[in-house]
Amino acid sequence: MIFIKRIVVPYVITILVVFLVWKVLAILLSRNVLPYPEDAIHAFLSALLTSEFWHHFAASAFRAVMAMIIGWGIAFPIGILMGSSHQVDKFLSPFVSMTYPIPKVVLLPVILLLFGLGDFSKIIIISLILGYQVLVATRDGVRGIQPQHLDSIRSLGANKWQLLWEGYLPAALPHGFTALRLNSGVSVAVLFFVESFATTEGLGYLIMDAWGQLDFNAMFVGIFGMSLLGVILNEGSNFLEKISCPWY
């Protein structure tokens, strides 16, 4: 019952509101421009029974999940190091401050030239965008630890590894997972961009291909697929945060 109340009900209400607004707009505009929501939903439900849709969905999911794993796996420990060590922070902060404001998407042509048109280049660009957010959030989370909390751990004879495990890590985990969850939507948005060209699989390709053929129902199948992927990534990140940070 708790699962239904906290997760299912809000999504159902949101879907109903979007459906009603969409229906009104489809009536006021042209059906050729904006199909009726029931037509798009029927096309999406039909696509769920096809292997072609799940092939594109699996390709996008693989890229997004791998990018999130790599981005978080690299940025999270670096964020802890920067937040816990003044020397490391002093060394890396200028580099982070200089590169953080740069839109990482503009590096896509360079990454494509260096690593080709395959999945690896797409995963790298998403990892860069996500990783910076996780790094900054984790570093600030570690910096926010009250000194007396660390002193109490040291007073019990903790060595540097125990201090890391009992002090820095519990303080950093909620911030790292929050950044991961909040930027799961950004990952999907960037995924659409990198899949909109130089590829023949993925939901982004499915959307652009349908758009080019003026097949609007098929286009919304891809859009719904992207939305479904975003929900799964967001709820998955939320689940990982809850089981990893029960104290938060």
Q: Are 102 and 129 in contact (CB under 8 A)?
A: no
Helix (H) or strand (E) holding 185: helix 184-195
Do 194 and 233 lie in one domain? The reply is yes
DSSP type of residue 145: S
Q: pLDDT averaged over the chain? A: 84
For residues 210-235, average pLDDT: 90
pLDDT band at 57 (very low <50, low <70, confident <90, very high): very high
Q: What's the total number of domains in the chain?
A: 2
* Domain enclosing residue 144, as ranges: 35-244
Do 26 and 126 lie in one domain? The reply is no
Do 237 and 193 lie in one domain? The reply is yes
Q: Is the pLDDT of residue 154 over 90?
A: no
Do 21 and 120 lie in one domain? The reply is no
pTM for this prediction:
0.82
Which tens digits make up the pLDDT trace of 11-34?
788 888 888 998 888 888 766 678
Q: Is the pLDDT of residue 164 over 90?
A: no
Do 20 and 45 lie in one domain? The reply is no
pLDDT band at 70 (very low <50, low <70, confident <90, very high): very high
Cα 81 to the chain's mean position, in Å? 23
The dihedral of CA 186, 109, 71, 236: what is its sign? positive
Do 105 and 175 lie in one domain? The reply is yes
Q: Is the pLDDT of residue 58 over 90?
A: yes
Residue 188 has a pLDDT of: 87
Which tens digits make up the pLDDT trace of 97-138?
888 888 877 788 888 888 887 888 889 988 988 888 899 889
Do 199 and 138 lie in one domain? The reply is yes
Q: Is the pLDDT of residue 198 over 90?
A: no
Residue 5 has a pLDDT of: 58
Choose among 210, 235, 216: nearest CA to 52. Answer: 210
What single letter denotes the amino acid at residue 228?
L
CB-facing half-sphere around the CA of 170: CA atoms within 13 A: 13
Cα separations (Å) of 206 from 55, 58, 64, 218? 11, 12, 16, 8
Residue 103 has a pLDDT of: 80
